[in-house]
Structure formats: structure tokens, C-alpha cells
Amino acid sequence: MINSIITIILAIIIFWLLSAIIVPLLTIPNFTEFKGKVQRTKKIKTLANKLKAKSKKQTLENVFKFVTKKYTSYEDQMQLAIVPKWFYNNPEKLLKKSQFLPCCVQNLIVRTILVNTGQFKNSDIKSMAMITKKITAHQYLTVKIDNQKYKVDAYFRILKKI
């Protein structure tokens, strides 16, 4: 009886490690490293110009506010079970409606808008992968502005200088 309980517990732990950490880190596009091209379309450029401010810091704050208002995240965490959302990679299509988006997809939108403002280069924005307190894979961005770095985590609603 005890052996079967231990076996079940170990199976649950292994399943959790695979589904919450290993599989996302290895299979989700742009999770550990941004490998794609930033989409540059007329609609995205128009939005980026609306959010663009005189300073890079204010532009970053504007983009962060836009993304955190438009997309739900950790408060709708059960929607993470909708696996196809993890693989969304068309920011222009995603900008059309408010919805739940996983962290890596929200970061793709933040990156796309920032680069389209013309104030940021792709090299100013780094993807950072981590394991959360709930033992799940998570991604946030660091954005370099002059000699400062900012942690940008739209999913958990964090924007701070690091």
C-alpha cells in the first residue's frame, strides 16, 4: 500500500516537472531565447507611435500599461491549460482583441511594440526564463535604457528598475 502511494506521488511530481517546467522550456517558441523576427506592419507601427513618448523610460511605461490593461494573465491562470495559446506568434492578430495570454506571448507583444517605436533595438531586450514559487516555468524581459536595466513582467504586473 505504501509503495503504491509513493509511486503515485512520484508520478505526480514527474508529470508536474515535465508539464510545468521541462516541456515549456524546450518547446515553446521564444521562451528561453528570442529567435524570431519582430513583426513590423503598418498597424503595429501606428500603435507603437501612439505609445511612444519623448523618453525611452516613459515609452516603456506606456507599453507596459497598454499590455497589462489589454491582456489578462496570472488572475486567469487556469487558461494556461489552453496549450495552443503558448505558441501564438502573430502580434498583429493578437492586438485585435483583449484576452488571456501566457507570459511568453505577452513578452512577444511588449518586444514588438518597443522595437517598432524606433527607440529600442532587439538587442536592448532580453528574455529571462525562471521557475516560479509554484514550480512552473516563467518568462519575463529585461530592457536596457542607457545604463539602467528594467525588469518587465507583464504577466505578473511588474515593472521595476533592477
110, 96 in Cβ contact below 8 A?
no
Instruction: Provide the number of structural domains found in the chain.
Output: 1
Contacts of 76 (CB under 8 A, 6+ apart): 100
pLDDT of residue 130: 78
Confidence (pLDDT) at 117: 97
What is the pLDDT, as a whole number, of residue 38?
A: 82
Query: Which segments of 33-124 are extended strands (E)?
Result: 71-72, 99-100
pTM score of the predicted model? 0.78
> Could you tell me the CATH number of the domain that includes residue 134?
3.10.620
Domain holding 117, by residue range, is 2-161
Alpha-carbon span 48 to 119, nearest angstrom = 10
List of the chain residues with pLDDT < 50: none
Write down the pLDDT at residue 101.
84
Identify the pLDDT of residue 138.
82
Cell of 157: 504586473
